[in-house]
Structure formats: structure tokens, C-alpha cells
Amino acid sequence: MKTKNIFSWPKEIYLFWVADLILGMELIGAILLVFFRDWGGLTQTQTQSIQSWFTFWVFVLEVPTGVFGDVHGKKRSVIIGYILYFIGTITYSLYPNIYLFLASEFILALGLAFVSGARDAWVYDIAKKYGIEKRITTISVVKSTMHITGMILASFIYIFVSKMFSVQEIFRLGAIPSVIALILYGFFIPTTDTKGNGLKPDYLGTAKQGLRMLKNSVNLKKLTIYISLLCSASYFVIWLYQEGLRVLSVPESLFGIYRIVLLVAEVFSMFIVARIMRNLSPKKAFILIASVVAIGFFVGAILQNIVGILFVLVFAGGLGLQVPTLLSKEINEEISDEQRSTVLSFISMIKRLMLTVFNPVVGLLVDTKGVFIAFTVLGVISLLAIFFKPKIILK
């Protein structure tokens, strides 16, 4: 099946994109600082330590849930994941208590682990069914664009509902997109798992086989480390830009506007990175991407004003957060079909492990040295990715 534009894709792909749009329309991202620091009464160190707890459990659960997707079905794994998302979001907003937060993060981590790998593998299987697996990068770019579009809409909505609902209620509204996505995945998108063609339920054997594939591919290994370093650094833009704005005495009512800047930058960065990767050699492209992300952090750390925050949002966040999307084709081509969900989960594990270590360190850095020193450290981490640039031919 040939697809010349976004209006000629299989209906399953459209439904995935609609789900991505809806999942982006949660309001939680616009209130992170207010929710954890003000309503929750936590320091930045405590906030990031909770996120470290979350990433630790995703790290631990990534492989068994990934194997579950390979053995029992990717669709079933995704559905279980979004049920857990709903439960975790509701319990999180019941009462400002750190132990309740930890329990809720565990539920959310389990949900993410079920979705991680399985969903991307499900999309790839559908693309392969229609003979368009070579267009998986385009599918991933549109997926991210739809998700970001939903987040932009949510940021605009937040500007109005922030005066109508409490922070607790706004957070709780974030459970609604999970329910809608659950309906779409459960009733409207068919499974790609065929009875008799799946793996036998040898969890340990399947996990070892997936890890062996990762070890044997030098390009996949380097690509994983490269992406993990950039993602880990850029991840903190989401958590720290609001702290930077608060230090600069920017009203909290304007946080949604700056979030829109970050999201729009992500959309534009996807197309910019794609063009860079077409017109430059792979070596130069990977060096340039890591350098631009690092420069975004360094400029923010040096200027320590609104212009600096915009550099962090546009370059460190906008570009850095979208690097995995544009490299999805290269990753998928290194993995066999029957082990795709498991290997993708292994790759996610490495990113989670880095965040498990970085989260409390960066949180403590913000509390003791300030957010702008943290930006400097994150810039250095971004530059380290250059040493792990993969040697691949980008098409």
C-alpha cells in the first residue's frame, strides 16, 4: 500500500494519531511546579526523588511487561497500561502526602511499562501489514506532532480553567484522556498478534534473547546511549523551566504560555532535524544535534533571564525531546519482528536507569546551587552524547 501524504494512511494509523492527540490533552504538564511544590509541599529534591522512584520501577518492570507484550499480545499490554494510568492519576490527586505520591507513581510506572515498547511495536506491526514500514519515521513524526498539538490545546485550556478549578481538580482531569484512549485502543484498533505465531511463554529466555540482540548490534548500542543522554538532559527542561520562571518572578498564570513555546519548538524541531539529517553526513548531523541541545542549556545558564529561558525551551527542550522520534526507523531496522517489543523495552530501560540516577542529583543541585547551575550541568551531559554517535547511513 503506497502512501503519498497524510490523507492516504490506513485507518488504524489514523486512530493511533487521534489517540495521541487526546492523550496530549491532559492539563498536568502546565501545573507541575504548583502541584508538587505548592499543593504537595515538596522541595525540588523530593520532587525529583519521587520521579527517580518512578523511573526506577519502570526500569525494573520494563522487561517483564515487554515480554508480556511479545507473548500475550501488544494490544492487551497497552490496554492494561492505560487502565493503570487512570488509576494512578486518580490516586495521585486524593491527598497531598508523599507516601501516597510514591504509591501512585508505582501504579503509573507499571502502566507506562506495559505501554512502553508494546505500543510502538504494535504501530510498526500495522505499518508492516500494509507494506509501509519504511515510512515508520513519518508515522512517528505525525504521532509526536499530534501529541504535542494536544498538549498545546491543553495549555490554552489551562489558561482559562486555572481560575475555575483547584490544582488538585485540574490534575484529576488528566485521567479523562486515558479513558478515551482506552476506548479507542480496545474497540477500534485490531490486534496484530496471531494465534500460533507468538512466542512460547519463556519470559527469561525471551528477555535474554532481546538483550543479546542489543549487545550484538554496535550501532543499536551507540544509538541507545546517544539518545539516552540527550533525552535525560532534555527531560529536565520539563521540570525546571517553571522553576527558572519563578526565580525570575514570572507570574504562574503565564506558565502555560511558556509551555506552548516549548511545545511549538518541539514541532518545528522535528522537521528541522529531519532536514539536517537529509543534508548532512550522519557524523556531522549527530554532532550538530547534541551541540545545539547543549548550547540551549549553556545560554540559559549564562544569561539568567527570559531570553535565556527561551533558549532552554526552544533548543534544549524543543530539539532534545524529539530526537528519539526521528531515529525510530533506525532503531526498528536493527530489531527482529518477534522480539521488537522486548528490545524496545530494553532500550527504554537504559533511559530510565539514567533518569533514576540523575533525578535526585539534579533536584539537589537546584535546591543547593540554583536552577541555572543545573542548566550548566545538563549542557555538559548533552555534549557527552557526541562520544556515542552511531555510524549509520541515514536515508
pLDDT of residue 106: 97
Query: Is residue 2 one of the residues assigned to a domain?
Result: no
Query: Is residue 3 one of the residues assigned to a domain?
Result: no
CB of 210 within 8 A of CB of 345?
yes
Q: What is d(CA 378, CA 193) in angstroms, rounded to the nearest whole number?
A: 41
The answer to whether residue 121 scores a pLDDT higher than 80 is: yes
pLDDT of residue 313: 97
Q: What would the pLDDT profile of 148-194 be if each residue is shown by its tens digit?
A: 899 999 988 888 888 889 999 999 999 999 999 999 999 999 998 76
* Banded pLDDT at 30 (limits 50, 70, 90): confident
Query: Is residue 282 one of the residues assigned to a domain?
Result: yes
* Percent of the chain's residues with pLDDT above 70: 86
Number of domains in the chain: 1
Grid coordinates standing for 243? 522553576
Sign of CA dihedral 155, 160, 161, 167: positive
CATH of the domain at 374: 1.20.1250.20
Query: Is residue 249 one of the residues assigned to a domain?
Result: yes
Q: What would the pLDDT profile of 207-243 be if each residue is shown by its tens digit?
A: 566 667 767 777 777 878 888 899 999 999 999 999 9
Q: What is d(CA 19, CA 81) in angstroms, rounded to the nearest whole number?
A: 14
Grid coordinates standing for 106? 508505582
Question: Over the range 163-184, which residues count as b (16 or more CB within 10 Å of their CB) and which as e?
Answer: eeeebbebbbbbbebbeebbeb
Query: Is residue 376 one of the residues assigned to a domain?
Result: yes
Query: Is residue 393 one of the residues assigned to a domain?
Result: no
Question: Average model confidence (pLDDT) for the chain?
Answer: 86
CB of 66 within 8 A of CB of 118?
yes
Query: Is residue 159 one of the residues assigned to a domain?
Result: yes
267 or 51, which is more confident?
A: 51
Q: 3-class secondary structure for the chain? A: CCCCCCCCCCHHHHHHHHHHHHHCCCCHHHHHHHHHHHHCCCCHHHHHHHHHHHHHHHHHHHHHHHHHHHHHCHHHHHHHHHHHHHHHHHHHCCCCCHHHHHHHHHHHHHHHHHHCCHHHHHHHHHHHHCCCHHHHHHHHHHHHHHHHHHHHHHHHHHHHHCCCCCHHHHHHHHHHHHHHHHHHHHHCCCCCCCCCCCCCCCHHHHHHHHHHHHHHCHHHHHHHHHHHHHHHHHHHHHHHHHHHHHHCCCCHHHHHHHHHHHHHHHHHHHHHHHHHHHHCCHHHHHHHHHHHHHHHHHHHHHHCCHHHHHHHHHHHHHHHHHHHHHCHHHHHCCCCHHHHHHHHHHHHHHHHHHHHHHHHHHHHHHHHHCHHHHHHHHHHHHHHHHHHCCCCCCC
Q: Domain span at residue 342?
A: 11-191+202-388
pLDDT of residue 334: 63
Q: What would the pLDDT profile of 129-150 be if each residue is shown by its tens digit?
A: 899 988 887 888 789 889 989 9
pLDDT of residue 5: 57
Query: Is residue 6 one of the residues assigned to a domain?
Result: no
The answer to whether residue 247 scores a pLDDT higher than 50 is: yes
Q: What would the pLDDT profile of 60-109 be if each residue is shown by its tens digit?
A: 887 788 778 878 889 999 999 999 999 999 999 999 999 999 999 999 99
389 or 207, which is more confident?
A: 389
CA distances 192 to 113, 220, 329, 378, Å, are 20, 25, 19, 40
pTM: 0.81
